[in-house]
């Protein structure tokens, strides 16, 4: 299969501070990639860049071998992005939210019931979302992962937030299933992944040298003279 998404020498800065630079990476179909790094290292910034929500970067972003900016519509039509916030309309019910989501993508709403069942929201389909707990609202957002069985690009920012243990296990399975379908899953999480076979990008490795205290120390380190 061809490389789906590719970063070439990417750099991002915010408030005149370089978050990461020199980042080149090929996201291959069928792979799960976990973006790692300490708080504030730029994980969300990178994910937003991959969704095209942020276009403030240097370097190249390619999709299927061509500049992504020239095929944004096709790219976005197969992209599923879950950001930090649930992105759920609270006045609507879970079923209405999912029907709206399907409609906005020009897709069928026939999987709405199954999707809500899969995230443990059977019985809550028609309850307004403002009456649901934080974890249940997060589950409404996660139900989008069950609306299609096509290979897609999934970009998931902290998808396990507010999800209980059983939900985390089910979500890990869903992510692995999408990879098995030939999709590409790129995610951030501060938790360990238990059952997902993921590759890793650690943004700490792409910080400018002056922001890497331990590397700087290593560079400045003088080996002791051992020839006595
Ligand atoms: N719109 C913005 N304007 C200015 N600075 C921003 C903006 N968005 C992010 N930043 C800054 O960029 C840096 C990286 O933020 P980002 O949210 O990408 O980090 P992160 O690695 O996802 O952090 P966390 O693990 O805490 O979620 C932070 O220092 C943040 O203050």
Q: What is the pLDDT of residue 214?
A: 55
Whether the ipTM is more than 0.85: the answer is yes
What is the distance between the alpha carbons of residues 172 and 48, in angstroms, rounded to a whole number? 22
SS3 readout for 77-140:
HCEEEECCCCCCCCCCCHHHHHHHHHHHCCCCCCCHHHHHHHCCCCCCCCCCHHHCCHHHHHHH
Residue ranges and CATH numbers for the domains of the chain are: 1-78+183-219 (3.40.50.300)
Atom of ligand 1 nearest to the CA of 48: 18
Pocket of ligand 1 (CB under 6 A): 14-15, 19, 37, 39-45
pLDDT in tens, 34-72: 999 999 999 999 999 999 999 999 999 999 999 999 999
| Regions of the chain where pLDDT drops below 50 | 216, 218-219, 221, 223-224, 226-228
pTM (predicted TM-score): 0.88
| CA dihedral sign, ordered 181, 182, 187, 192 | positive
């Amino acid at each position: 299969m061809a490389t789906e998404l590719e970063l070439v020498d990417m750099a991002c800065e915010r408030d005149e501070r370089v978050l990461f630079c020199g980042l080149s990476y090929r996201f291959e179909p069928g792979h799960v990639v976990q973006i790692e790094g300490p708080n504030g290292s730029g994980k969300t910034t990178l994910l937003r860049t991959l969704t095209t929500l942020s276009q403030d970067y240097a370097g190249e972003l390619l999709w299927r071998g061509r500049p992504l900016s020239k095929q944004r519509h096709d790219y976005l039509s197969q992209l599923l992005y879950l950001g930090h916030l649930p992105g759920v309309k609270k006045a609507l019910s879970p079923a209405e939210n999912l029907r709206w989501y399907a409609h906005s993508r020009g897709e069928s709403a026939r999987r709405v019931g199954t999707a809500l069942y899969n995230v443990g929201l059977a019985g809550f389909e028609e309850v307004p979302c403002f009456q649901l707990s934080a974890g249940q609202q997060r589950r409404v957002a996660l139900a989008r992962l069950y609306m299609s069985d096509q290979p897609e690009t999934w970009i998931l920012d902290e998808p396990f937030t507010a999800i209980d243990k059983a939900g985390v296990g089910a979500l890990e399975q869903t992510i692995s299933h999408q990879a098995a379908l030939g999709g590409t899953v790129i995610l951030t999480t501060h938790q360990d992944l238990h059952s997902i076979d993921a590759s890793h990008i650690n943004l700490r490795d792409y910080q400018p040298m002056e922001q890497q205290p331990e590397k700087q120390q290593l560079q400045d380190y003088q080996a002791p003279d051992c020839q006595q």
